[in-house]
Structure 1
């Protein structure tokens, strides 16, 4: 499986959105400013992200099948899209990346065009809650579900499960919350230590946390497991965790 390029690219800027002089306030948005710094932002903010992306390719290699679709739901700049594209190898699969941010899709198109893998890729600028899904062998929600309104999450997962072929898989990566206050506290502190180690100041950490408070709503690991099983997936396993960030693999029977 060849490696897909995206994260270490000179066209991206260093994330300074939440510094004292440039922070615009308000809720977090996937706008043009975020698109310009997104690879730097997510690498320095999400523990394990640089492990999860290539492993999406590995998992895709196992579950992708001929004459099926592989969906990257909430594709942003296409890191998971490219990992899936390379993971399908020479299978007859169509990779479909969907995001409701036109700024993200515009930049994603650039990276898809630079990549020389022959598997076809289709990008759609639309809401994943309204997207038509069918014949899926692999789908990813890579830190996407947490931005969906909680009451609409079961509906989305049920639609994905219905569209998934028997034996197909969903990769769900999320920031989670913990049942015990002490565990939530220490995991949050460790996450903030991770950000500090990657060069973020306390002010930046605080301002971004405030911007995300009403937008990113995490849930417990147990809630995610139960919802995936209720949606129609037969097996759910935790394959990755670092602090309060996890990735689950759900397989349809």
Structure 2
């Protein structure tokens, strides 16, 4: 298979009906290209997750990548903590994504990663020093987000951290319109057409529900995290580090 086969062209042709976005085999095949061309700063976020894991991972503890997709965050953490006795647990409910993730774990010599095909809401969280939700929470219904964060906090060590990356909404209509405009400009600069941008947005509309930075911070505090810091933002993509 040539490299061109892995380019994201899922929405390049006009579609009569736009189905809701799902992480199926077609998405898994092009996901690496899709996310690098769609999420500004994604590579930097992945690299910094590894660095933060090295700083906060405790020997004998568990590290979770919840909604691991192709396993990029897991690989980043695994490479940084190879000298520690930690347990890496990568969770995704899409078998096609998890299969590709397993290939990455083997490629980067991380055979000890525990890959779990499950809904992240059903996974036991315990003895956790690092938990990653990298553009995952946004796919849950609004009323399911706080219970998951509370569950994570309950299973986290007092010295642990949660790294939460999300696509956000602006604090008002003007800010939101600006962030969306800049994001679309970023996608056009990476080769996406207006048709692709429009159809992808329609597919995600009922699946991915963004919230404001303020809402995320309030919810994290309500879930039991005492310190919440925004460490990354590029347009409408952010990442927080939350500590008990």
- Say yes or no: TM over 0.5: yes
User: RMSD over aligned Cα, in angstroms?
Assistant: 1.6
Q: Secondary structure at the match of 2:6?
A: coil
Give 2:67's aligned residue.
74
Aligned residues: 243
2:87 corresponds to 1:94? yes
Q: CA deviation at 1:87?
A: 2.2
TM-score, normalised to structure 1's length? 0.93
What is aligned with 1:49? 42
Alpha-carbon distance in structure 1 between the residues aligned to 2:224 and 2:84: 26
Residue 228 (structure 1) aligns with: 220
Q: TM-score, length-normalised on structure 2? A: 0.96
Return the match for 2:22 from 29, 34, 38.
29
Aligned-partner Cα distance in 2 for 1:214–1:25: 11
Counting only pairs closer than 5 Å after superposition, residues 1-253 of structure 1 correspond to structure 2 as 10=3, 13-20=6-13, 25-117=18-110, 120-252=112-244
What is the SS of the residue equivalent to 2:120?
A: coil
Which deviates further from its counterpart, 12-21 or 165-174? 12-21
Unaligned runs of 5+ in 1: 1-8
Runs of 5+ consecutive residues of structure 2 not aligned to the other structure: none
DSSP 3-state at the match of 1:224 = helix
CA contact (8 A) 1:65 1:93 kept: yes
CA distance in 2 between partners of 1:155 and 1:21 (Å) = 39
Deviation at 1:133, TM superposition (A): 1.1
SS at match of 1:237: strand
Q: Structure 1 stretches (4+) deviating beyond 6 angstroms?
A: none
CA distance in structure 1 between the aligned counterparts of 2:5 and 2:222, rounded to whole angstroms: 40
In the superposition, relative to structure 1, how do residues 116 and 10 fare at CA in structure 2: closer, same or farther (>3 Å)?
farther
Higher mean Cα deviation, 78-87 or 194-203? 78-87
